Homo-oligomer: A and B are copies of this chain.
Amino acid sequence: MQLHIEASNGIPIYEQICRQVKFAIANKALQVGEHVPSVREMAGRIAVNPNTVSRAYRDLQTDGVLIPIRGTGLAVTPEAPAKCNAERLDLIRDRLRIVLAEAHHNQITPDEIRQLVESELHRLESLDADNSLKPVTTGETA
């Protein structure tokens, strides 16, 4: 499981972690019963404070996605895949909705929006192509 944390695109780090763990479960990158990386390991891996990871894991427990296994760590619950699959597109949709609503309220036409979307999709694909050649981070604003 690989997380892409961007500090900061406006989304709190702990929430980015939350969301990406859910995506990883939806994508089968994390299986039921499997342990998520320990707080300390994850914190080291993505270079944030352990408490930030802890906060994210706590939220995931509240959501019923993770469950503590005494003394060994946190595991993916049996219900998690269903929840995460159901949420998979919703998580994106919610964010997309407010962006499109703003565009729409301000007289940007559906066709202009479609063009923006297409140009961004192409941009992402070409970034992928670049990254597959050289594993360099790109476009980070932080």
Contacts and interface: CB of A to CB of B under 8 A. Distances in A.
A66 B8 CA distance: 15
Interface of A: 4, 6-11, 13, 19-20, 23-24, 26-27, 49, 62, 67, 70-71, 88-89, 92-93, 95-110, 112-114, 116-117, 120-121, 123-125, 141-142
Given A99-B95, A99-B96, A121-B100, A106 B20 contact: yes
A7 B102 contact: no
Instruction: Please report whether the interface of chain A is mostly helix, strand, loop or mixed according to DSSP.
Output: helix
B95 A116 contact: no
Given A7-B70, A67-B142, A96 B120 contact: yes
Closest 3 CB pairs of A and B: A23-B106, A9-B98, A104-B124
B70 A88 contact: no
A96 B121 CA distance: 10
